Structure 1
Amino acid sequence: MAVPTQKIRVSLAMGSCLLAIFTTILASHMPTPLYAVWQQSWGFSDTALTAVFSVYVLGVVVTLLSMGSLSDQLGRRQMLVPGLLFILSGSITFMLASDIYQLGTARLLTGIGTGMVTGAATAAVIELEPDGNWTRSAALAALAFTLGAATGPTISSLALRWTSHAEAWPFLVVVTLCILCITLLLRAPWPAGLGQRQHDFRLRAWRPTPLKVPRPLLGTFFFAAAAICLAWSTGSLYSSLGPSMARELVGVSDRALAGLFAAGWQLVAGISQFACQRQPLNRLILAGPGLLIGGLAAMAAAVLLASVWLFILATLATAMGAGAIGVIATVTIARSAPPAERGSMTSAFYLAAYLTMATVVLGIGFASDYVGLVNSMLGFTVLISLAALGLMLARRRTQP
Structure 2
Amino acid sequence: MSSSATRSIPLTSASETPAANLARPTPITRPASLVAPARRGLPHHAGFWVTAVAFLLMMAFNTVPTPLYALYQARDGFPTVVITVVFAAYSIGVMVSLYLAGHLSDRIGRRPVILASVAIELVAAVLFLLWPEAVGLVVARFVAGLGIGMLTATATAHLADLRRISHPRGTLGFAATIAGVANMGGLALGPLIGGIVAEWVPAPLVAPYLAFAAAFVAIGFAYAFVPETVTRPVVREPYRPQRVRVPAESRGRYWAAGIAAFAAFAVTGLFGSVAPVFLAQLLHQTDHLVAGLVSFAVFGAAAASQLVFSRLSARAQLRLGVAAMVAGLVLLGVSALAATLATPAAATLFVLGGVTAGAGVGLVFRGSLVAAGSLAAEGSRSEVTSGIFLLAFAGMTVPPLLVGVSLLVLPLVPVFLGFVVLVLGLIAWAGRRMLATTD
Secondary structure of residue in 2 paired with 1:187: coil
- Partner-residue secondary structure (3-state), 2:224: helix
1:292 aligns with 2:315: no
In structure 2, list runs of 5 or more residues that go unmatched: 6-27, 29-41, 340-345
Does 1:383 pair with 2:422?
yes
Counterpart of 1:212 in structure 2 is 244
Q: Distance in 2 between matches of 1:184 and 1:68?
A: 23
Local SS of the residue matching 2:222: helix
Going from structure 1 to structure 2, the CA distance change for 1:29 and 1:196 (only over 3 Å counts) comes to farther
Output the CA distance in 2 between the equivalents of 1:4 and 1:13: 9
Match of 1:174 in 2: 212
% same residue:
25
Match of 1:156 among 181, 194, 211: 194
Q: Distance in 2 between matches of 1:231 and 1:168?
A: 32
Aligned residue type for 2:247 = R
| TM-score normalised over the length of structure 1 | 0.89
Over the aligned positions, Cα root-mean-square deviation in angstroms equals: 2.7
Q: Quote the offset at 1:4 in angstroms.
A: 13
Letter in 1 for 2:267: T
Q: How does 1:116-265 map to 2 (within 5 A)?
A: 116-130=150-164, 133-190=171-228, 194-201=229-236, 206-213=238-245, 215=247, 221-265=254-298
- On the 8 A contact 1:289/1:391 being kept in 2, the answer is no
Cα 1:82–1:369 shift into 2, 3 Å: same
Could you tell me how far apart the structure 1 residues matched to 2:64 and 2:286 are? 21
- Matched residue type, 1:364: V
Contact 2:319–2:435, Cα closer than 8 Å, also in 1: no
**Map of 1:273-288 to 2, 5 A cutoff?**
273-288=306-321
Please, which moves more after superposition, 12-21 or 290-299?
A: 12-21
Q: Secondary structure at the match of 2:350?
A: helix
Q: State whether structure 2 residue 130 is matched by structure 1 residue 96.
A: yes
Q: What's the counterpart of residue 85 of structure 2?
A: 51
Call closer, same or farther: CA 1:95–1:360 in 2, change over 3 Å: same
User: What's the counterpart of residue 370 of structure 1?
Assistant: 409
Amino acid at match of 1:197: R
How far residue 58 of structure 1 moved from its aligned partner, in angstroms, is 1.9
Is the partner of 1:371 in helix, strand or coil? coil
Residue range with higher mean Cα deviation, 11-20 or 141-150: 11-20
**What is the CA–CA distance in structure 2 between the aligned matches of 1:181 and 1:201, rounded to whole Å?**
30
User: CA separation in 1, counterparts of 2:133 and 2:272?
Assistant: 21
**Deviation sequence 1:40-76 (CA, Å, 0-9, x none):** 1111112222111111122112222222322221122
Structure 1 match to 2:349? 310
Q: Distance in 1 between matches of 2:301 and 2:4?
A: 36
Where does structure 1 lack aligned partners over 5 or more consecutive residues?
Answer: none
Residues 223-282 of structure 1: per-residue CA shift (max 9 Å, x gap): 543333222111110000111111111121322212321112111221112112211111
Equivalent-residue separation in structure 2 for 1:177 and 1:68 (angstroms)? 24
Structure 2 contact 68–288 (Cα < 8 Å) conserved: no
Whether the aligned pair in 2 keeps the contact of 1:138 and 1:327 (CA below 8 Å) is no
Moved more, 118-127 or 365-374: 118-127
User: Following the alignment from structure 1 to structure 2, what is the Cα–Cα distance between the partners of residues 351 and 127?
Assistant: 24
Indicate if the aligned counterparts of 2:103 and 2:382 stay in contact, CA closer than 8 A: yes
Deviation string for 1:110-142 (max 9, x for gaps)?
011111111222233334433564544333222
Give per-residue Cα distances to partners, 1:7-37, cap 9 Å, x unaligned.
Answer: 9944333333323322221121111111111
Change (3 A) 1:331 1:272: same
2:253–2:434 contact (8 Å) kept in structure 1:
no
| Separation of aligned partners in 1, 2:380 and 2:325 | 32
Q: Distance in 2 between matches of 1:132 and 1:368?
A: 52
Q: Which residue of 1 aligns with 2:23?
A: none
8 A Cα contact 2:260 2:430, kept in partner:
yes
**Quick check: 1:326 aligned with 2:365?**
yes
Asked if 2 retains the 8 angstrom alpha-carbon contact of 1:129 and 1:137, the reply is yes
**CA contact 2:2–2:44 (8 Å) conserved in 1:** no
Change in Cα spacing, 1:46 to 1:253, as seen in structure 2 (3 Å) is closer
Following the alignment from structure 1 to structure 2, what is the Cα–Cα distance between the partners of residues 189 and 210? 26
* Residues 138, 331 of structure 1: 8 Å contact kept: no
* CA distance in 2: counterparts of 1:256 and 1:18, whole angstroms: 27
Q: Does the 8 A contact of 2:247 with 2:377 survive in 1?
A: no
SS at match of 1:195: coil
SS class of match (1:262): helix
Separation in structure 1 between the aligned mates of residue 337 and residue 96 of structure 2, nearest angstrom: 39
1:36-47 equivalent positions in 2, closer than 5 A: 36-47=70-81
Deviation digits for residues 136-177 of structure 1, max 9, x if unmatched? 433322221111111111111001111111111112332233
Pairing partner for 1:357 from 396, 407, 416: 396
State how far apart, in whole Å, the 1-side matches of 2:253 and 2:114 are. 27
Taking structure 2 as the reference length, the TM-score comes to: 0.82
* Distance apart, 1:395 and its partner CA: 2.8
Note if contact 1:136-1:277 (Cα within 8 Å) is conserved in structure 2.
no
1:46 corresponds to which letter in structure 2?
Answer: T
Q: Is the 8 A contact 1:39 1:45 kept in 2?
A: yes
Shift of 1:334: 6.2
Query: Tell me, what secondary structure is at the counterpart of 2:138?
Result: helix
Q: SS at the partner of 1:69?
A: coil
Assess if the C-alpha contact under 8 Å between 1:86 and 1:110 holds in 2.
yes
Q: CA deviation at 1:222?
A: 3.9
Structure-2 change in CA distance of 1:13 and 1:140 (3 Å): same
Shift of 1:86: 0.6
Q: 1:355 to 1:213 in 2, by over 3 A?
A: same
Higher helix share: 1
Q: One-letter code of the match for 1:171?
A: Y
Q: In structure 1, what is the Cα distance between the partners aligned to 2:258 and 2:172? A: 18
